[in-house]
Structure 1
Amino acid sequence: MSPFDVKPTGTGYPAPTKPKVTVVTVVLNSCEFMEATILSILGQTYENLEYVVIDGGSTDGTLDIIDRYKSRIDRLVVEKDRGIYDAMNKSAKLVTGDYLIFMNSGDEFATEQSVAELSACARDDETLIYGGWIVRYSWGLERAGHPARPGDFWRGMFVQHQSVMVKTQYFREHQFDLTLGLGADYAFLLQLINSGAKVSECGTIVSRVSAGGASDNNRKGVLMAHWDQARRYYPGLKTDVHYLKAIARERLAAFVKKCLPASVVKGIISSKA
């Protein structure tokens, strides 16, 4: 079997041995979006599910929202952290599931079957299972996103972390490197893939993610961070030329966005959906 396999959704493990899946939500001052994220997770039909919430010390009412659902949250931690990846790393000591999914505030599962569909693809002791996603824009547009082919992983982040399910034990042993900033998630995935671990794409849309996050708002910084990581595993002129072109395109896009009215920019994005 190839290390990379696209698997249709199906029954997966027999019911008595379905893997336990932990969903972790990391949040800080997100009262506008937190409830939708919580309801998306609590609404999953998958029975062998654990829910952990890690709040970085919210002061805007987010904790009041969390308190409404406290009886259905298995673990809740409220304490300051050193950023999103530090908060996500904390989950390694809290979760008890076989697999781990990060669904942070502002994002949601695509359907109430999403966790069940991902877990159904865990058939061969895979370390990583991933699927597609839908990007939501503030004006209502939704656009589907699909993972890159295995041969193109060097080109940059090939999947949204909200659509990834990783073995908990692997995450405990290989957490996000806090020194890498915006490149931490890509570095984690490249390390996993190049370790020879079993990786499978599950043929389903897993999550709905909101445009305008930290990575979207600093695309040049993200590309630079990804380039640095790609060169570690895929060194050579091909990699360098790809990222130089990508950075040039991003600079041009940023310039155009500044020059054009917001309505025109929205129209351009919508035309590509």
Structure 2
Amino acid sequence: MQKRRLLFQRLFTQRSFYLQFFNQYPGLVRNQPEENSPQGEIIFQSSTIDTPTGRRFQNPLALHGKACIRIQLSQTNPDARKHLAKSVVITQESARSDKFRPTQYQNKGHTPKNFYPIHFVTPIVTILTTVYNGEEFIEECVNSILSQTFENFEYIILNNGSTDGTADILNKLTDPRLQIIHQENLGISRSLNKGAQLSRCDLIARLDADDYSSPTRLERQVETMNKYPGLVLCGSRFRELTGNKESEQRVPCTETDQAIRKSMSLFNPFAHSTVIFRKKTFNEAGGYNNKFKYGQDYDLWLRMLSLGEACILKDELCTLRVSEQSSSYQNKRAQKLEGLIIRWKAFRQLGGSPAKNLYYLLKSLVGLVFPSIRNFK
């Protein structure tokens, strides 16, 4: 038993080792790719692992379902790709190919014919998107995530009972990292709480269905969260897109934890589509408050700040669409009223400048009386 454990640990500490691939491999998700799909990287899911010594182990990475295994296929043996592809899910992205090494274990008395280098790939971060009647922009939103330089993610999209062509667009997407959930309209808060509980990752990022991320967004934010374990929340600067006109963000940018805490009683320094946070902290904070219809993110950040530090990266990692059509007066007033409630909570929890808070209070009151005035958000 001890020898088995040592062998198992050695295989996994290497993170890359060789396994024999059989015609009928247990636990595979079977999905026949197109015949002319490019040679490259294949991902399959398995709950067990067969080692070159003939032993079978439970996959320790399958703690929350079946973990992905990445196979780098041979350029010198193209027929092998067809054979393997019959029982796996092939990624849409092109990937590196590795050389075919059939004699890897000959020094141990093994002469396998079909050994391939594989790498275990477990998602590091979950992206959450909720959508309702978002057919116009949802494809651009999704593609901005699928084209990220950081590839170890899962993307959960919750379709809240859309009545337009959103469902058809989502159903055509085939990337195995996507998890599409069609459901009744639960609202943003309940849907995001549901998505967060479905997440298998320690990190969760947000993206609204009409916004899109820059290619390096996940790479920069995951790197930052890993580098600073005390961080529980990380945002970024962003661009605003009004029609075809793109501009810098109008919200003042506060980058450090201290500056963020000072600004929380004045305004929400985080754009919802730019944030990444730790799932553990999210759960400890209680998730999104269903009582808030517009300020659920603002309220959540305030509670998370009592559990750790936050930062906002100076890089513009997202583009947010700003509607050219004004919302109804009723919705505008509701947004501003929720904002006032949260600002008062922030002032009591984090303190702040009384003079500045009075100034922003007057701005908010003007916004309640005249909700169509954009400068008084």
- TM-score tier by shorter-chain length is 0.7 to 0.9
Deviations 1:31-59 (A, max 9, x none): 11111111111011102211111111222
Report deviation, 1:71: 3.4
Per-residue CA deviation, residues 202-227 of structure 1 (Å, 9 max, x unaligned), is 22112111112999664432222111
Given that 1:21 and 1:49 are in contact with CA atoms closer than 8 Å, whether structure 2 keeps it comes out as: yes
What's the counterpart of residue 31 of structure 2? none
Matches within 5 A, 1:259-270: none
Residues 108-146 of structure 1, C-alpha deviations (whole Å, 9 max, x = no match): 00x2111111112121212111111111102x1112225
More helix by share: 1
* Match 2:149 to one of 35, 45, 51: 45
Q: Is the 8 A contact 2:340 2:364 kept in 1?
A: no
Once the two structures are superposed, residues 127-166 of structure 1 have per-residue CA deviations (whole angstroms, 9 ceiling, x without a partner) of 111111111102x111222533322221121110111101
> In structure 2, what residue type is equivalent to 1:185?
D
Bigger Rg, structure 1 or 2: 2
Task: Give TM-score, length-normalised by structure 1.
Answer: 0.78
Partners of 1:214 and 1:70 lie apart in 2 by 34
Q: Does 1:222 align with 2:335?
A: yes
SS for the counterpart of 1:242 is helix
Matched, 1:179 2:284: no
SS in 1 for 2:205: strand
User: Which of these residues, 346, 360, 377, is aligned with residue 242 of structure 1?
Assistant: 360
Q: Which residue of 2 aligns with 1:76?
A: 180
Partner of 2:281: 170
Residue 230 of structure 1 aligns to which amino acid in structure 2? R
Q: Distance in 1 between matches of 2:199 and 2:327?
A: 29
Distance 2:157 2:315 in 1: 25
What is the aligned partner in structure 1 of residue 253 from structure 2? 147
Q: Which runs of 5+ in 1 are unaligned?
A: 1-15, 258-268
Structure 2 residue corresponding to 1:132, chosen from 237, 250, 263: 237
Paired residue for 1:202?
A: 313
**Alpha-carbon distance in structure 2 between the residues aligned to 1:19 and 1:214:** 38
Structure 1's 35 and 91: CA in aligned 2 closer, same or farther, altered over 3 A?
same
Residue 333 of structure 2 aligns to which amino acid in structure 1? Answer: K
Structure 1 counterpart of 2:207, which letter? Answer: M
Identity of aligned residues (%): 21
Specify the alignment match of 1:55 in structure 2: 159
- The answer to whether the 8 A contact 1:19-1:99 is kept is no
Q: Is the 1:129–1:165 contact (alpha carbons within 8 Å) kept by the matching residues of 2?
A: yes
Structure 2 unaligned runs (5+)? 1-119
TM-fit CA distance, 1:183: 2.0
Aligned-pair CA distance for 1:101: 1.0
Higher relative contact order, chain-length normalized (CA < 8 Å, sep 6+): 1
User: Structure 1 stretch 121-130 or stretch 74-83: which is displaced more?
Assistant: 74-83
SS of the residue aligned with 1:26? strand
Letter in 1 for 2:291: T
Structure 1 window deviating more from structure 2 (16-25 vs 166-175): it is 16-25
C-alpha contact 2:236 2:313 (8 A) present in aligned 1: yes
More displaced 10-residue stretch of structure 1: 94-103 or 144-153: 144-153
CA displacement 1:47-99 (0-9 Å, x = unmatched) = 22111111112221111111121333432211113311111111122111221
The match for 2:58 is: none
- Structure 1 counterpart of 2:364, which letter? A
> Could you state the TM-score of these two structures normalised by the residue count of structure 2?
0.58
- Checking the alignment, whether the CA contact within 8 Å between 1:31 and 1:60 is kept in structure 2 is yes
* Residue 112 (structure 1) aligned with residue 215 (structure 2): yes
> Superposition RMSD on alpha carbons, in Å?
2.8
